[in-house]
A = this chain, B = another copy of it.
Amino acid sequence: MESGFISIGQYLIERLYELGIRHIFGVPGDFVLGFYDLLVNSKIKVINMCDEQRAGFAADAYARVNGVGAVCVTYCVGGLKIANPTAGAFAEKSPLIVISGSPGIRERRKDPLLHHKVRDFDTQLRVFNHVTISSTVLDDPQTAAKEIDRVLDSSLQHKRPVYIEIPRDMVSQPLYLDKSRINGKESFSDPEKEKDNSTVLNEALMEVISIIKSSKKLAILAGVELHRYGLQDKLVSIVEKFQIPVASTLSSKSVISEIHPLYLGLYEGAMGHDNVRDYVESSDCLILLGAFVTDLDLGGLPSKIDPANSISITSEKVSIKYHNFEGIRLEDFIRGMADSNEIGGPRRVTNLPYTQKSIQFSAIKGKKITINRLFQCLDSFLKNNMIVLADVGDALFGSTDLVIHNKTEFLSSAYYASMGFAVPASIGAQFANPKLRPLVIVGDGAFQMTGMEISTSYRFNLNPIVLVLDNQGYGTERSILDGHFNDIPMWDYSKILKLIGGGIGYLIETEEQFEDSLLQAERNKESFSILDIRLDRYDKSTALQRLTDSLRKSAI
C-alpha cells in the first residue's frame, strides 16, 4: 500500500486483499453501488449471487476454506437478509467480514424517511452487534483506517464475523495513512504483555506434558478451532509424537485424515459408535483441543466427560482439571506442544477400538436405493480432490460415517444447523480452492430453500456434484414428531436445467443408477451435475436413527 491519500473504500479493499481475500460475494443495491464500482475495478473479483442470504453462506464457506471471507450487500433489505448466515458464522467460528452500504451521513440529517430504513438509521448496526464479534460504521475519515484495522483484526483473532458499514457518501472520502500503517497493519503487540504470556504458557505446557507422561490411557478430542486456526498439521505432529489416539466431532470432521492409524472416529454421543464414545470417556487423560462439545455432538446424551481427567485448550481459555489459565493463545499452545522436546520415545498404542475403513461398494442390480447404501457407495467413490458439503438433516448425519481422506475436506453447518447452507457454500468453497471438487449432499427441504443458487454455479462454470436426498419432507423432524407439516411438495430436481439453461440432471431410483450417474457426474467437469435421489419417505441413516431416538426424548 502506498503512502498518501487514498479513499476509505480503497483502503478497505486493500486491507481485504492483504488478508488474502480474492473474491467477494454479494448482491448490489443502490446504497452500496459506489463501493461495488470500486470493487469491480479492484484486484478482488465480485461474485454476484441471486440472493443475499445465499451470498452470506457462500462467503462463510469461503472463509472456512480460505481463512477469511467477505460478503457485500446493501442497507437493511440486503443486510438483514444475512442476519442468519452471519449468526451461523458466529456460532461456528468463521471469520466472515460483512460489508454493508448505507445512507450517506449527509442524507441522515433531519432523520428523513429514506427507503430501506426500519426504525432508526442504526437499526442494522444494532442487529449485527448481536451476531458479530465487533462492528463499525465508517462515518469519519479521521478514524476510518484505524476502525477497519481494529474490526478486521478482531475477526481474525476470534474467528468470528464482523460488521463494517460504509455510508455511501464516505466511500470516496480520502483518509490519510501515516507511515506506520503503510506497510500493512500496525502491530498491536505489547512486548511486556508478550513476556507475561510466555511465562503463563510455559507453566501450562509443563503441567500438561507432565500429566501426559503420567497417564495410561490418553485420548485427544480434536475440535473445530484447529481447522479455523489452520493447525491441522500441528495436530498430526502432536498425535504422532505423543502417540495419542484422536477422535473428532461432527463440527470438526476432517480435521485429521480419517485413515490416520491413530484416528478413532467421530465422538458423537448417541449418534456415534459406542466403542469410540467409551474409549474417549474412559480415558484417564482426555485432551480437548479447540473443541466445544455441543448437544449434537452428544446426540442427546448427557456428557460423561469428567473434568477431573480432562484438559481443554481453546481460543477462549486453557483449563486443566479444575483450574484455568488465561491469556494463552490457542496457536501458541498447540505449537508449543507440537514442538516440545520434553517427551521421550513414543509409547506404543494398541487395541484401538475402531478405525474407520472404506467399504468397497458394489451396486445390487435393480435394488431400490436407500440412505445407508447411498453413503456406502459414496464412501468408495470419494476422491482426494473432493470437498464434501453436507446440508442439515440426514445429509449431515448420514455423512458421519463417510471416511474423509487425507486431502478431502468436509464442510457443514454442523452446530448452528441452518438448512440451506450447502449449495451456496459449495460456491464459496470452490472459489476459495478451485482444485477442490464440491460434492454437495442436501435434503429436498433444504434444496427448496436455497438450491436455486446452483444457477450461480452454472454462471461461473463451477462443477459441483449435487445429491438431493429426495424423501419429500423434513426427515429428521418426521423422526421426532410427525405431521403433515413435515411434508414438502415434490419437485423434479433433475429438470432444473430447463429453468436455468444448463447443467446435467439425473433421476435416481436404484443403486445401479446411482453408481452410474455418480461416475458420469464425476467425468462431467464442465458444469454442475444434479442427482435427484428418490428415497422412501421414512428411510433414514443408522446415525439419524440413533440421534432421533435420543432427541425425541427431549422434545415436547
Contacts and interface: CB of A to CB of B under 8 A. Distances in A.
Interface stretch (A124-132, A212-220, A255-263, A321-329): A124-132
Given A168-B555, A499-B495, A415 B131 contact: no
Interface in A421-460: 448-450, 452, 455-456, 458-459
A115 B417 contact: yes
Given A80-B83, A87-B123, A556-B169, A449 B51 contact: yes
Contact of A498 (B456, B499, B501): B499
A554 interface: yes
Interface string A188-200: 0000000000000
Contacts of A241: none
Contacts of A116: 91, 416-418
Interface stretch (A58-66, A480-488, A512-520, A535-543): A480-488
A48 B481 CA distance: 16
Interface in A473-510: 474, 476-477, 480-481, 483-493, 495-496, 498-501
A363 interface: no
A119 B455 CA distance: 33
Contacts of A126: 130
Contacts of A476: 30
A318 B25 CA distance: 46
Interface stretch (A287-295, A346-354, A369-377): A287-295
Given A84-B81, A114-B294, A498-B495, A481 B130 contact: no
A543 to B, nearest CB: 15
Contact of A555 (B33, B293, B448): B33
A442 B83 CA distance: 25
Given A29-B477, A50-B488, A77 B84 contact: yes
A112 interface: yes
A333 interface: no
A410 interface: no
A415 to B, nearest CB: 6
A319 interface: no
A422 B8 CA distance: 36
Interface string A316-340: 0000000000000000000000000
A248 to B, nearest CB: 16
A450 B488 CA distance: 17
**How many subunits of this chain does the assembly comprise?**
2
Contacts of A113: 292-295, 415
Interface stretch (A34-42, A148-156, A269-277, A380-388): A34-42
B127 A83 contact: yes
A104 interface: yes
A117 interface: yes
26 contacts: A29-B477, A30-B551, A46-B484, A46-B485, A48-B488, A50-B449, A50-B488, A53-B53, A76-B84, A76-B87, A77-B88, A77-B417, A77-B419, A83-B83, A90-B118, A104-B556, A112-B294, A112-B295, A113-B295, A115-B415, A118-B130, A118-B416, A172-B556, A489-B500, A498-B498, A498-B499
Given A452-B452, A459-B489, 19 more contacts: A28-B485, A40-B483, A50-B448, A50-B449, A50-B489, A77-B417, A80-B83, A83-B83, A91-B117, A104-B556, A113-B295, A115-B295, A116-B418, A168-B555, A448-B455, A491-B499, A491-B500, A492-B498, A492-B500
Interface of A: 28-30, 33-34, 36-37, 40, 46, 48, 50-51, 53, 76-77, 80-81, 83-84, 87-88, 90-91, 104, 107, 112-119, 123, 126-127, 130-131, 168-169, 171-172, 292-296, 415-420, 448-450, 452, 455-456, 458-459, 474, 476-477, 480-481, 483-493, 495-496, 498-501, 551, 554-556
